[in-house]
Structure 1
């Protein structure tokens, strides 16, 4: 089942009739507009624009989706590889003219090394749960060339939990970390299996980076609890 890929591929083929619906463990239903996944550079959020401008050398776009970031970088002359676990997404990137695209889970990909690993639209969420973050970063480390960088954006979703009279937050006790959110996606009456996505506050990212021998620089802050970070290997 490839809910995201089916939706993206339909849009590319001119068969757009509806958007993706998401439901989460935060009891919220939301919509992913397919037009948002095909936006050009000018329509991207400032954090994404900043990240693309910071790219250097050979780039791996992890969780590339429809390939909008890869396409921009390719047009700027970068050697970029678009990678996604979704067959429909990878097929779409090829139809859009991206020269190098790979269908793979990032944790199974070991073939090359890169100067920049790009994890946009909260791509660090691919780690799923906080307990997986160390192993995830350890694998990314193997894909970096000497002097390479990881560029990622994420959000601190603490604001989504109810606040008590003392200014604290009511956080469920059944999960290790409040940034772990379980989702399902549906498109044309087909629903995905549940999957967990990880949102990281800055301090948690910094601690995980330090444990895995990365420097962590917060490059920019967004407008709504989001931020752009750059990880580089410690010397």
Structure 2
């Protein structure tokens, strides 16, 4: 899909299918992957002021964030699970881009000053327990003044009974209300089913407890979208950071 967007096709859009049968065309078109900084949503542009030092770009897509940061002399490691995204990012000039999932982030990548998770990529944490486990790992692979700049969506910013009912069924199964089970389709291609986590601000703060991270800033957008800046507390889970 990203390669088609780069080639200039104007019929590029994803279909998101949820495990309850709900199907919707993605709100995000080619611009979400290819837009220059001046066309980014305000919440993202404001949050970028808090990116510093060596950066890990999680879920880099076509490399728009990595390219912007490279232009500003940041050292960036960009990762994605899509071979197509990796290829497009390299073609567009991202210098260090790797085929790697969020689960593969570890100390072998070196230490980072900032981890960026734009495009709703906080959702890649998948669920409550996994989010807490990976946040602790992110604490270990970041410097003392490390930050996470991440985008998510409040799933409860809706009055649609289809979505509200889905939240209720999730809770009845012991899942978070906004813990989606989805797959993404484009033309003849489809991803495997995976968990994708949307959280309210209160849920986010609950997830952060004991992980070594605290909520420092919030940049609100439309339709429940928001970007957070997370900073380190003194310690992770009560021990030295």
Cα distance change of structure 1 residues 74 and 174 upon mapping to structure 2, 3 Å threshold: same
- The equivalent residue for 2:203 is 204
Q: Give the TM-score taking structure 1 as reference length.
A: 0.87
- Runs of 4+ in structure 1 over 4 Å off: 13-17
Paired residues for 1:184-203 under 5 Å? 184-203=183-202
Structure 2 unaligned regions, length at least 5? 235-241
Q: Identify the match of residue 74 of structure 2 among 74, 78, 85.
A: 78
- Counting only pairs closer than 5 Å after superposition, residues 49-64 of structure 1 correspond to structure 2 as 49-64=45-60
Instruction: Name the residue aligned to 2:239.
Output: none
Q: Deviations over 1:140-164 (max 9, x none)?
A: 112201111111121111133556x
User: How far does residue 95 in structure 1 lie from its aligned partner after superposition?
Assistant: 0.3
Can you give the 5+ residue segments of structure 1 that lack an aligned partner in the other structure? 1-6, 164-168
Cα displacement string for residues 88-138 of structure 1 (whole angstroms, at most 9, x for unaligned residues): 111111100111111111222322111000011121111112231111111
Which residue number in structure 1 is paired with residue 111 of structure 2? 113
Length-normalised TM-score, structure 2: 0.85
CA contact (8 A) 2:32 2:119 kept: no
Residue 6 of structure 2 corresponds to 12
State whether residues 114 and 146 of structure 2, in contact with CA within 8 Å, keep that contact through their aligned partners in structure 1: yes
Q: How many residues align?
A: 224
Give matches, 1:1-235, under 5 Å.
7-13=1-7, 18-25=12-19, 27-31=22-26, 32-110=28-106, 111=108, 112-160=110-158, 162=160, 170=165, 171-172=168-169, 173-235=172-234
RMSD: 2.0
- CA positional deviation for 1:18: 3.4
User: Larger deviation: 201-210 or 56-65?
Assistant: 201-210
Tell me if structure 2 keeps the 8 A contact 1:107–1:139.
Answer: no
| Separation of aligned partners in 1, 2:7 and 2:112 | 31
Q: 2: CA distance between counterparts of 1:229 and 1:183? A: 24
